[in-house]
């Protein structure tokens, strides 16, 4: 019988059906880091989201066979340690392929149309005092005909490309930053930055991608360009983004993720209070429809593993 332990149930607001396998289900609304090792000690299957799982947490969990990550990103799990232990790790894929691109499009439109600057003007009474029927205090730009550069071309990147094409944007697919060769359907990373009106990040956080956006990269971008990050906060050097916005090196940015989440110790990006910076609290993925698809896929992964046909395997 499987002992399935969900160590942070409240991070996923969806219905988890019980797997069609013989099992005992144990769930904790949330777990602190120092509670994890004890709670997973007797587990055969662990469902996790953002809590770290590596040797310190798993050394005494001698029966664990599967870690089912309730997310796409796997940076919270020590995959190499799991390989050595023979622990299978699975993730969920494609569940937010509509939710994240729609969030990106919303952010792009809000910045291009100066949504928050106009809302502030109306709240300050400027429209009421206008001599004309409309208030034109900030630039307004269409997105049709503009160029979007997509960094990362997995399920979400592909969906982003389709959505951008549907609204009339020219799509550039970025080659990896340090690639020696450029694939036929890709554009060199530096050229994407130079040509794009919008650059949107959809790549995982790895040793290769960490801090991939710094001062040099912002220097390559157009002064009227936007940077959108709905992937991982550590893809961008915070100080470089702050400087790029304050010096108007780029026109604006929107981030749905920070280097530390939640940002209990603050973040340089939360201190800016600029109308051309939008920060949302890591919710791009979290439409009701996407979250339910995620929950269903977690259970699908567990059932497939127990049946002997693992899916979405990382180790």
Could you report the per-residue pLDDT of 68-111, keeping only the tens digit for each? Answer: 999 988 989 999 999 999 999 999 999 999 999 999 999 999 99
CA–CA separation, 118 vs 120, rounded Å?
5
41 assigned to active site: no
Quickly count: other Cβ atoms within 10 Å of residue 234's Cβ: 18
Token duo for residue 202? 């959809």
pLDDT at residue 175 is higher than 90: yes
For strand 88-90 and strand 226-229, is the pairing parallel, antiparallel, or unpaired? unpaired
Mean per-residue pLDDT of the chain:
97
What's the whole-number mean pLDDT along residues 165-176?
A: 98
From 174, 50, 139, 152, select the one nearest 101 (Cα to Cα): 152
261 assigned to active site: yes
Residue-level pLDDT at 73? 85
Residue-level pLDDT at 303? 98
Task: Exactly one of 9, 23, 259, 282 is catalytic; name it.
Answer: 282
The string of pLDDT tens digits covering residues 55-71 is 999 999 999 999 999 99
Task: Exactly one of 162, 261, 289, 311 is catalytic; name it.
Answer: 261
pLDDT at residue 131 is higher than 90: yes
88-90, strands of its sheet edge to edge: 23-27, 2-6, 45-48, 66-69, 88-90
Residue-level pLDDT at 312? 96
What's the whole-number mean pLDDT along residues 203-212?
A: 93
pLDDT above 70 as % of the chain: 100
What's the whole-number mean pLDDT along residues 278-307?
A: 97
pTM score = 0.89
Task: Exactly one of 232, 249, 260, 264 is catalytic; name it.
Answer: 232
Domains of the chain: 2-95+289-306 (3.40.50.720), 99-279 (3.40.50.720)
- For residue 20, with 0-12 CB atoms within 10 Å meaning exposed, 13-18 middle and 19 or more buried, which class applies? exposed
CA–CA separation, 165 vs 261, rounded Å?
32
144 assigned to active site: no
The string of pLDDT tens digits covering residues 18-47 is 999 999 999 999 999 999 999 999 999 999
Contact predicate 236/177, CB 8 Å = no
């Amino acid at each position: 019988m499987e002992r399935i332990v969900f160590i942070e149930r409240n991070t996923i607001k969806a219905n988890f059906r019980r797997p069609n396998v013989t099992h005992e289900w144990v769930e904790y609304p949330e777990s602190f880091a120092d509670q994890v090792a004890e709670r997973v000690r007797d587990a055969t299957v662990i469902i996790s989201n953002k809590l770290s799982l590596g040797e310190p947490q798993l050394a005494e969990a001698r029966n664990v066979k599967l870690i089912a990550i309730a997310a796409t990103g796997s940076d919270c799990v020590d995959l190499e340690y799991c390989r050595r232990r023979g622990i299978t790790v699975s993730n969920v894929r494609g569940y937010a392929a509509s939710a994240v691109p729609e969030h990106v499009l919303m952010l792009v439109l809000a910045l291009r149309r100066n949504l928050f600057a106009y809302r502030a003007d109306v709240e300050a009474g400027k429209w009421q005092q206008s001599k004309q029927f409309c208030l034109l205090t900030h630039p307004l730009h269409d997105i049709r005909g503009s160029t979007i550069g997509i960094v990362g071309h997995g399920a979400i990147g592909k969906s982003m490309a389709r959505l951008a094409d549907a609204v009339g944007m020219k799509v550039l697919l970025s080659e990896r930053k340090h690639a020696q060769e450029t694939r036929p359907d890709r554009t060199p990373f530096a050229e994407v930055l130079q040509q794009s009106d919008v650059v949107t990040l959809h790549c995982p956080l790895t040793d290769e991608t960490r801090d991939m956006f710094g001062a040099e990269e912002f220097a390559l971008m157009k002064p009227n360009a936007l940077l959108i990050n709905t992937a991982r906060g550590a893809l961008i050097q915070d100080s470089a983004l702050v400087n790029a916005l304050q010096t108007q090196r780029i026109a604006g940015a929107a981030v749905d993720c920070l280097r530390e989440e939640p940002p209990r110790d603050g973040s340089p990006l939360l201190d800016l209070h600029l109308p051309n910076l939008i920060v949302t609290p890591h919710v791009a993925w979290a439409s009701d429809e996407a979250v339910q698809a995620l929950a269903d896929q977690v259970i699908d992964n567990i059932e497939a593993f127990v049946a002997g046909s693992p899916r979405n395997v990382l180790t």
